[in-house]
């Protein structure tokens, strides 16, 4: 059944605390789209096997929520990297390989896709600079968050003015990992042991990726909060790669988290 309702994204109180600014943002759910079947709702994943025309209509709905044309939605080809690109005024619709974007350009929506990984939106409302990052465990560990902040500073942002919000992502209660995964993190920093709690399965643990994400953000010198919603636990609202895998489904949709500087 098609969901023809208009998207109603989740808004961060921290990112919205400067109502006089021209920055608008939203953590979109799977509600408000035209995809069907296992993709039901607002699937924006061009890399999924969903009908392409439906995906393009869903992406257009996201753009229209911002009051902009579909071609003004900028996304990247995400590969779990620490790489950041700057979206300029001459944005041509390309999707470079990276996992984060920053911009000072009004009238362009920058968005990251997710289905368990952390979508993080950044804003320096005073200086009119925004960012968006896709951070799963690999991107978080290898520095995509810090690189996004640095890229915003390079554009003229004040690190002390930057706020960031982690959107819906997989929670500790739904993220069981094995011993090799734990060793990777503890080898990087023994203090990271705090983000793992033993699970009933021998040698395994529950991993608190949201807590690690917030620590990396605050250590980078920005104020940060989390929406606090789990993608895995709410199939009616969010797509989830891990839930799809556990259910043996052939593919999964992606939700988008997006931010823009609105034109005067």
Distance CA 117, CA 231 (A): 9
Residue keyed to tokens 């993709």: 39
Per-residue pLDDT of the chain (264 residues; tens, 9 = 90+): 356 678 999 999 999 886 677 999 999 999 999 999 999 999 999 999 999 999 999 999 999 999 999 999 999 999 999 999 999 988 888 899 999 999 999 999 999 999 999 999 999 999 999 999 999 999 999 999 999 999 999 999 999 999 999 999 999 999 999 999 999 999 999 999 999 999 999 999 999 999 999 999 999 999 999 999 999 999 999 999 999 999 999 999 999 999 999 987
CATH topology of domain 23-171+208-261: 3.60.140
Token code pair at residue 31: 């509600």
pTM score? 0.97
Q: Where are the domains of the chain?
A: 23-171+208-261
């Amino acid at each position: 059944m098609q969901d023809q309702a208009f998207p109603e994204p989740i808004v961060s109180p921290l990112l919205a605390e400067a109502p006089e600014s021209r920055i608008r943002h939203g953590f979109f759910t799977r509600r408000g789209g035209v995809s069907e079947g296992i993709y039901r709702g607002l699937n924006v994943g061009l890399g999924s096997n969903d009908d392409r025309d439906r995906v393009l209509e869903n992406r257009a709905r996201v753009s229209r929520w911002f009051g902009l044309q579909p071609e003004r939605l900028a996304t990247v080809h995400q590969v779990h990297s620490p790489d950041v690109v700057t979206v300029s005024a001459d944005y041509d619709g390309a999707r470079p390989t990276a996992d984060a974007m920053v911009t000072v350009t009004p009238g362009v929506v920058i968005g990251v896709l997710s289905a368990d990984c952390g979508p993080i939106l950044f804003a320096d409302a005073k200086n009119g600079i925004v960012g968006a990052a896709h951070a799963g465990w690999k991107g978080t560990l290898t520095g995509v968050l810090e690189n996004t902040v640095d890229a915003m500073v390079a554009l003229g942002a004040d690190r002390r003015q930057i706020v960031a919000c982690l959107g819906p992502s997989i929670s500790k209660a739904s993220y069981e990992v094995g011993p090799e995964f734990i060793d990777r993190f503890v080898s990087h920093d023994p203090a990271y042991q705090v983000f793992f709690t033993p699970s009933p399965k021998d040698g395994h643990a529950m991993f608190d990726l949201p807590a690690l994400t917030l620590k990396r953000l605050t250590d980078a010198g920005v104020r940060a909060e989390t929406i606090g919603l789990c993608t895995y636990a709410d199939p009616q609202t969010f797509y989830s790669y891990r839930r799809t895998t556990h259910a043996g489904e052939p593919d999964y949709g992606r939700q988008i988290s997006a931010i823009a500087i609105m034109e005067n």
